[in-house]
């Protein structure tokens, strides 16, 4: 068992993050040992519930918890205020009170929604997070952000509400579809570039090795390292007020623009992969990149994972024909545009990235031309 901690301000206790194979079957005891009590509402989506709901429920009941199970439809469409209201009413109808404990079991969609409901139901009830996708384990569950989408945009309503306990069982990834593995790996690559040169060397050493889930020891190492990077950055700027957290957006200014021009039809991980290539080209163009080989190495790592590296060729697969100008225009609405200037996270070398607010549009256009492909 590996235990990590995430410290939030104004909280007496740090958030314990437990990582261990088989934790799903021992979650009841883990909750007890963390001093958590109360009737449990176990929120999941139907796919995750079919795989793991019964096991988690059994473990909770064996530890003496009463369990109300709530299953939601899978997919981003579930992350709405309407679905939050459905959950509030189920909790109220089943008599879950302030002493209740809400557990989110699933990917980022379930955890964002369940966390938001826990933050707001009766002004806040205890929340426990059990991520089951790679993306949720290394990214969505770490950092205390919860929320739902509006028709006007993603994640527009939410709260900072860290769970009381985070349980990560890598065995859950055995059933993860290959496309979701790739999606999560895009964020692992990002974490390596932002803050773990050793992890970057491991990814770079044998790109094809990471195309599917590796052996358990390697997987535990990968998870621990990627999570540690996110913890380190979140602790510097827990409420996203000081800017340190912005480095987590490496590849995302481009990535979000790709998602927007596609009408959100492309997977997030693919957009981030193509976005990291553009961001690396921009880093070179701006004279930041100290290791010119990084561009080629990143392309090999992403290709090994089956992720796209050249945006025009990749978007063409989704029947999307767009131009650098359209992509730059799609960036203008990005929340990162402050005071009229776009902000980019540029790579200096693996482990060293910085936010730059002085990047001319022309350099962005050229970086996009350079990484278009076809």
Distance CA 205, CA 351 (A): 16
> Is residue 283 close enough to count as binding ligand NAD by CB under 6 A?
no
Q: In this chain, which of 70, 91, 117, 140 binds ligand NAD, going by CB under 6 A? A: 140
> Helices (DSSP H) in the chain: which residue ranges?
27-33, 46-48, 54-62, 81-93, 108-120, 134-135, 178-195, 197-205, 216-236, 252-261, 268-285, 294-304, 311-316, 324-332, 361-370
Distance CA 306, CA 329 (A): 28
> Is residue 135 close enough to count as binding ligand NAD by CB under 6 A?
yes
Q: Which residues are CB-neighbours of 58 under 8 A, at least 6 positions away?
A: 25
Among the residue ranges 7-15, 89-97, 134-142, 344-352, the one whose residues contact ligand NAD (CB under 6 A): 134-142
Q: How far is CA 120 from the centre of its chain?
A: 22
Nearer Cβ to ligand NAD (116/295)? 116
Q: Which residues are CB-neighbours of 100 under 8 A, at least 6 positions away?
A: 38, 39, 40, 41, 91, 125, 126
| Residue 244 beta carbon to ligand NAD: minimum distance, rounded to whole angstroms | 15
Nearer Cβ to ligand NAD (53/108)? 108
Site string for ligand NAD, 190-209 (x = CB under 6 A): --------------------
| Residue 94 beta carbon to ligand NAD: minimum distance, rounded to whole angstroms | 23
Do residues 285 and 198 make contact, with C-beta atoms less than 8 angstroms apart?
Answer: no
Distance CA 124, CA 157 (A): 16
Residues of this chain, 46-85, that bind ligand NAD according to CB under 6 A: 47-48, 51, 74-76, 79
| Residue 172 beta carbon to ligand NAD: minimum distance, rounded to whole angstroms | 4
Site string for ligand NAD, 94-123 (x = CB under 6 A): ------------xxxxx-x-----------
> Is residue 240 close enough to count as binding ligand NAD by CB under 6 A?
no
Backbone angles phi, psi at 357, to 5 degrees: -115, 10
Distance CA 106, CA 108 (A): 7
11: number of Cβ within 10 Å: 12
> Is residue 26 close enough to count as binding ligand NAD by CB under 6 A?
no
> Is residue 169 close enough to count as binding ligand NAD by CB under 6 A?
no
Nearer Cβ to ligand NAD (255/324)? 255
Nearer Cβ to ligand NAD (187/370)? 187
| Residue 25 beta carbon to ligand NAD: minimum distance, rounded to whole angstroms | 14
> Is residue 350 close enough to count as binding ligand NAD by CB under 6 A?
no
Backbone angles phi, psi at 167, to 5 degrees: -115, 125
Q: In this chain, which of 96, 103, 128, 176 binds ligand NAD, going by CB under 6 A? A: 176
57: number of Cβ within 10 Å: 21
Q: Which of 253, 250, 254 is nearest to 371 (CA)?
A: 254
> Is residue 132 close enough to count as binding ligand NAD by CB under 6 A?
yes
Residues of the shown chain interacting with ligand NAD in the complex, contacts defined by CB under 6 A: 45, 47-48, 51, 74-76, 79, 106-110, 112, 132-133, 135-136, 139-140, 143, 145, 154-155, 172, 175-176, 180, 183
């Amino acid at each position: 068992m590996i235990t990590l901690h995430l410290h939030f301000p104004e909280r007496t206790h740090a958030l314990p993050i437990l990582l261990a194979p088989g934790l799903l079957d021992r979650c009841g005891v883990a909750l007890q040992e963390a001093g958590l009590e109360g009737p449990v509402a176990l929120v999941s989506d139907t796919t995750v519930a079919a795989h793991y709901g019964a096991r988690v429920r059994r473990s909770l009941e064996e530890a003496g918890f009463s369990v109300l199970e709530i299953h939601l439809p899978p997919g981003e469409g579930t992350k709405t205020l309407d679905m939050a209201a459905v959950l509030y009413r189920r909790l109220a109808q089943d008599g879950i009170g302030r002493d209740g404990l809400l557990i989110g079991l699933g990917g980022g969609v379930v955890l964002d929604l369940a966390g938001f409901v826990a933050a707001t139901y009766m002004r806040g009830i205890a929340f426990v997070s059990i991520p089951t996708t790679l993306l949720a384990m290394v990214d969505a569950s770490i950092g205390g952000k919860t929320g739902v989408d509006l028709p006007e945009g993603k994640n527009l309503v939410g709260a900072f509400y860290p769970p009381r306990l985070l349980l990560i069982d890598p065995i859950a990834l055995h059933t993860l579809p290959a496309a979701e593995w790739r999606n999560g790996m895009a964020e692992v690559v990002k974490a390596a570039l932002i803050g773990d040169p050793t992890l970057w060397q491991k990814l770079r050493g044998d790109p094809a090795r990471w195309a599917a889930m590796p052996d358990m020891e390697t997987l535990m190492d990968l998870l621990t390292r990627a999570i540690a990077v996110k913890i380190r950055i979140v602790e510097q700027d827990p409420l996203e007020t000081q800017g340190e957290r912005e480095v987590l957006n490496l590849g995302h200014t481009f990535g979000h623009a790709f998602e927007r021009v596609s009408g959100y039809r492309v997977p997030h991980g693919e957009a981030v992969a193509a976005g990291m290539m553009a961001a690396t080209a921009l880093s070179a163009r701006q004279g930041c990149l100290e290791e010119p080989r990084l561009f080629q190495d990143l392309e090999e790592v992403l290709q090994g994972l089956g992720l796209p590296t050249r945006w025009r060729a990749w978007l063409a697969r989704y029947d999307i024909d767009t131009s650098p100008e359209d992509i730059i225009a799609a960036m203008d609405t990005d929340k990162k545009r402050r005071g009229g200037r776009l902000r980019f996270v540029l790579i200096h070398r693996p482990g060293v990235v910085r936010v730059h607010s002085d990047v001319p549009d022309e350099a962005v256009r050229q970086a996009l031309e350079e990484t278009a492909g076809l």
